[in-house]
Amino acid sequence: MSENDAAATNGSATAAEGEGEGGLGDAITDAFAALATADPAEHEFDELQYIDGVDDVDADAKGDAKRSLPFSSIHAPPEDFKSVNRRCFIPSQPIRCTITKYERTSTSHLLNPYLYVIECQHGSFQWTIRRRYKHFSSLHKSLRLFRTAMRLPFGTRHHKLRRKTYMERKGAEQPTIPRMPKRGDSMLTEDELPERMKQLEDYLNAVLRSRLYRNHHDMLDFLEVSQWSFVHELGIKGKEGLVRKRVGSKQGNRGPVYCGLCFKCRKCAANCFALWRKRWLIVKDTYVAYVRPRDGTLHSVMLMDNGWDVNRGILGSDTAKSLTIVNSSRNLLVSCWTKRKAKEWMDALKLSLETYGRQFVDANRYESFAPVRDCSCRARWYVDGSDYMRDVADAMEAAREEIFITDWWLSPEIFLKRPALDSQYWRLDQILLRKAKQGVKVYVMLYKEVEMALGINSFYSKQKLMQHDNIKVMRHPDHASSAVLFWAHHEKLVVVDQNYGFVGGIDLCYGRWDDHFHRLVDQGSVGDLERSGHFQTAAVTSSTPAGSQLPLTLLALAQGTNLVTIGTVSGQSDNPRADAAAPSVDMVDAALAREDSEPEKADEDGEIARKGETPPMQRRKLLRNMVRMREVASVWSHELADRGRRHLHRSEDETGGEDGPASSEDHAVSETVTKSEAAPVMAAVAAAEAGMLDEVDARRVKKLKAKLWVGKDYANFIVKDFAVDSPFTDQVDRASVPRMPWHDIATGVTGSAARDVARHFIQRWNAIKVEKLRYNPAYEFLLPKGYQTCDSIPEVLTTPSFKTKCQIVRSASQWSAGIKDTEDSIQQAYIDLISRAKHYIYMENQFFISLCGINADVNNRVCEALFQRILRAHKEGAKFRVYVIIPLLPGFEGQVGTAGGTAIQAITHWNYSSICRGQYSLLSRLTDRGVADPTQYICFHGLRTHSELGGKPVTELIYVHSKLMIVDDDSVICGSANINDRSLLGNRDSEVCMVVEDLEFEEGVMNGEPVQVGRYAGSMRRHLFKEHLGLLETPDESVDVRDATSDDFYKSVWLKFSSKNTDVFEKVFRCIPTDSVKSFVQLQEYQREVPLALSYPSRAKDMLKDVRGHLVDLPLAFLESENLTPDLGTKESMVPTYMWT
């Protein structure tokens, strides 16, 4: 042992004894002696010592040790870069360094002419650093000082903590620091350099074998590592290190005011007057971030995008040692200590760009921020909200790291799986709270509404959700400060662990959950249905003004009386359902009369019942009836389950379930129960309440009582708009107001496309944080995952998926995403897909506002693209079809023709102006260009359904909220964007859609000819056709939906079914909109007439049997004689036109 090491050992021992009385002086003496001891006679190379018994991590490394840090480690509380608690390396993984070569720069570095290139490896990560001899020497001195200082019992809290850690390790074998060579590089010859490289390499590896020293902040700086370095899902281990960042550089290249005479003045002012701060800069595969060292907090994330640029030197920044990094969101000006360092940063940024970031920097299709993902993308489709919310719930339940949610409206109390029974397990706020307690980070962005215009109350949603520190909610925009009054964040996204992405039109809010049954009534149980009885006023719907008293004839009263059902259980028979049938009123009256007229008789044993007691015979009958009730209840509960499976099983023989997943039994048990089935159901419910059923039967019966739509979720927003207070209190009277069914569509994706969805969310989140919460440490910046791990995503969803290529497109601008240039890639995708269509286009959308030609009101080009494509087909004489489905009425509270219906009429005006009214409408333009019958090419439809409420037929429109286009059974665009300027121009509402193109194909038919059709697009289109034509509930082998182009289907099925349904609905309900009403005067006369559903319910029910599915014609002549724009003086007339379009 050398004298130096002996002194160090003695110093350590003395320091340990210094805890007692009188040891401090000796410890200080030994410490300074250790620092001053040096033997000039020792040969620096020969006496470099290696340590036996050190804390060697190589020996602890196991074959199954983790090769990277978990992604959740980035969410650990930040630590000061000099903190002893900072841990950056992978446990049980060695760090190996190899000096591969050197570079000589004697002209500029006389004392340290050699620059050593060091290749480092830790786990699966490799990186390169460059260091001179002076850097090794500085590190060595720092570690020696650290070791010595740990022996001194200073009184500071920080030192005590560091010394405590050191002393805890002292009980084990203490590592000894290998001594550095004492002779500088300037005194070496070329022949001695290989030996010097070997000595420095051994020194570095020996030090790194000690856990005590490798976590020292100077060692971490030397190796250029941080807690973000070895997280595999963050991407590569890029270059890291300290730089100086100019304050305010995010606002561009603004600085002090210069005299303008010369560049030297500008350079001098930048160096002397600008404020600079030390930051730890990190280069990853597709982004750059920097951290504030004094507290370890992430302070900015710059994503590589189409505005990315990096410049160095005089032309690019203020000094030759500076870099200017630019993207679409901000500018970053950093300064290095040497020109060599600046060049290294420049090279690292270029390498990252060329290797990984080029996909976001180069121009992508449709000028989107995201490229086309040709592989590792499994896509799913969801028709209506039930399956969508079920998969969202399952994905959230499987979350391990992060959950991202952004919605136009979010209702915390919404149930994602139904019926909920007595459990809150699948309620949205409870799911998020449960995952937050498990350590999952939840980030939610909500649209901050203008409270005077909307009642969605995002503040309530935020307060309700933030019940845990791991749940963060931000609302945007602040209308006054941002001057954004009319535009909204309209996108609907859910991302789980940046692996599973959900994109579509379905908000996680009230009224959105639905399935293909599109039920109008949900009163919870048959008992509730019976107690509601018949009503004397008409049901309040979108076609019937609230509170209108329609005259009822004596026949209607009589028929209403006969609808009353008495739920009794009759005697035994071979058919339980026949036993359970309800008797007629006359039969019941006759039976009661006979019982009243019969004298009191003794039973078989001669007993006579006393007053107040149950007669013996009655007791026996009661027991027999109870047994019978139990049998009926059990049989009926099983029958309900079987019926649910029959109705909800959706599959095709040739594709093995291509039409989507079969819904669970839970979806079927609460479907509307007919009057003839009321008695056995009531018997089953009573038996369950009496505890007479086993657990399985009781659960089935329990579902009969459960409501699918609880409280405010049962909604008809045309009758009454939403209000979020008292969420479990009904907003409308279920006994008189049918709910408005909700038809919607969404997509799900895994793989790289899901990472793109997450990247968009992260960009928005970080932009809002900079704008609103920059200095709030509780809201951290988010980091995107890398794209190298997309192939190893576990499968947690059971819905069928398809191999596709996907691209995320969006409408985004400065106010919505913090980017300088407006992106309208959604509109470009629509136009391109329409122009490339060969056979058909199928569209579902909430709006259809897009004028043809150049006009002053509407600027999007979707309608023009449709016009050009149809005109081309007409000139070529080719079969080409366009199907368009939109809501029959816009979704605003109010009644058409009343003062409260101004908003409905305004949107209706623009829809009809785009379709058929005015010189810029699609049908008018086609007619003007020689297309005599445009319906040969394009048709417009809505959706409507019917049910029974209080014993009478009732109808309501199905609100179409989808944002979907399918082309040729091989391409789909689906998301949140409506067909209007608000969604498509890019600088208005923020939107996200996904373009999906099939990579798996099967045999199909187009216009009678065999073709290859995509499995994803084709199965979605066929499922939608079956739902709208009623073929999911009542399959008909004579109807073939495979060929969407042929006359046999288009005319003989699609148009025929729609026309027939429209005719029946108008005759039975006199519903609006209708072609029979062309003015407000006619509307009043039309609504005064008593509909057949009220005057002759039995006849109406017979006529409704002819309705197949939900498809109806869109009445293009409705109110065509009226000007539907807002009248002067109304509040709607004060709103700019572009708010409606």
Tokens of 1095: 């005057």
In the numeric block, the tokens 């139990």 are attached to: 630
Beta bridge partners of 948: 953
pTM confidence score: 0.83
> How much is the pLDDT for 158?
60
Q: What's the CA gap between 15 and 314, in Å, rounded?
A: 54
Q: Which residues contact 487 (CB under 8 A, 6 or more apart)?
A: 815, 816, 982, 988, 989, 990
Neighbours of 418 (CB within 10 A): 25
**Which amino acid, one-letter code, is at 488?**
A
pLDDT of residue 289: 96
Please give the Cα distance from 1075 to 185 (Å, whole number). 94
Which domains does the chain show, CATH number per domain? 43-68+76-230 (3.30.1520.10), 240-362 (2.30.29.30), 377-515+742-772 (3.30.870.10), 565-595+616-706 (no CATH), 802-1139 (3.30.870.10)
DSSP for 244-283 reads EEETTGGG-S--SPP-SS-HHHHHHHHHHHS-EEEEEEEE
CA gap 53, 822 in Å, rounded: 63
CA atoms within 13 A on the CB side of 661: 18
d(CA 295, CA 636): 66
pLDDT of residue 57: 45
Dihedral over alpha carbons 476, 479, 485, 491 (to 10 degrees): 0
State the Cα–Cα distance between residues 971 and 977, nearest whole angstrom.
17
How far, in Å, CA of 531 to CA of 565, rounded?
Answer: 10
Strand partners, 168: none
Rounded distance between C-alpha atoms, residue 811 and residue 992, angstroms = 7
Q: Residue 1128: what are its φ and ψ, rounded to 5°?
A: -60, 140
Q: Based on C-alpha coordinates, what's the Rg of the chain?
A: 37
Q: Would you state the pLDDT for residue 1108?
A: 96
Query: What confidence score (pLDDT) does residue 627 get?
Result: 53
The single-letter code of the amino acid at 575 is N
409: helix, strand or coil? coil
List, for the chain, all residue ranges whose pLDDT scores fall below the cut of 70. 1-66, 106-107, 150-179, 249-273, 314-318, 422, 524-538, 545-705
What 3-state class would DSSP assign to 1012? Answer: strand
Side chain identity, residue 222: F
Tell me the three state secondary structure of residue 75. Answer: helix
Q: Are strands 377-383 and 802-812 parallel, antiparallel or unpaired?
A: antiparallel
State both tokens at 740. 């408005």
> Distance (Å, rounded) from C-alpha 458 to C-alpha 468?
18
Q: How far is CA 302 from CA 228, 333, 537, in A?
A: 15, 12, 62
pLDDT at residue number 110 = 78
Find out whether 214 and 54 touch, Cβ atoms under 8 Å. Answer: no
Q: How many residues does the chain have?
A: 1141
How far the first Cα of the chain sits from its last, in Å, is 86
Nearest 5°: phi and psi at 1094?
-95, -40
pLDDT for residue 820: 93
Residue 267: its pLDDT value, please? 58
**What pLDDT is recorded for position 580?**
39
